[in-house]
Amino acid sequence: MARLLLNLRNVPEDEAHDVRTLLDRNAIEYYETPPSRWGISMGGIWLREDDQYARARAVLDEYQGERASRAREDYKERKRRGQVETIADVLRRRPIELLAYAAVVAGIIALMMWPVWML
């Protein structure tokens, strides 16, 4: 029986490609379902045989751990070089947009608090 290994919702294409390569390299049979036309389902990578799930999960967990550590190191390096965007950077580049979002959030909070204030 087939078993879902990876839901492809919000998965970057390079990560999906790496997962496919890992499964091929480890001789794990899989198939892929495409996303639906209306965006209800985003597709997935399925294992053909349920008994391969433990091995595939171990391979995928190891890969995702390595990918996460690479992403953390990349972030630290960009932060060290001053290339990480901060709120101050956004405020300098798009002050009107940021203030508009803040006003909308304040309005929503005020609407939610209105019944409490009226007590």
Write down the pTM of the prediction. 0.69
Helices 13-25, 53-81: axis angle to 10 degrees equals 140
How high does pLDDT run on average in the chain?
92
Residue 97 and residue 31: Cα distance in Å, rounded? 44
Q: E strands along the chain, which residues?
A: 3-7, 30-33, 44-47
**Closest residue by Cα to residue 84 from 72, 94, 96:** 72
* CA 119 to the chain's CA centroid: 42
**pLDDT tens, 56-107?**
999 999 999 999 999 999 999 999 998 888 888 888 999 999 899 999 999 9
Q: What percent of the chain has pLDDT over 70?
A: 100
Q: How confident is the model at residue 7 (pLDDT cuts 50, 70, 90)?
A: very high
Residue 71 and residue 68: Cα distance in Å, rounded? 5
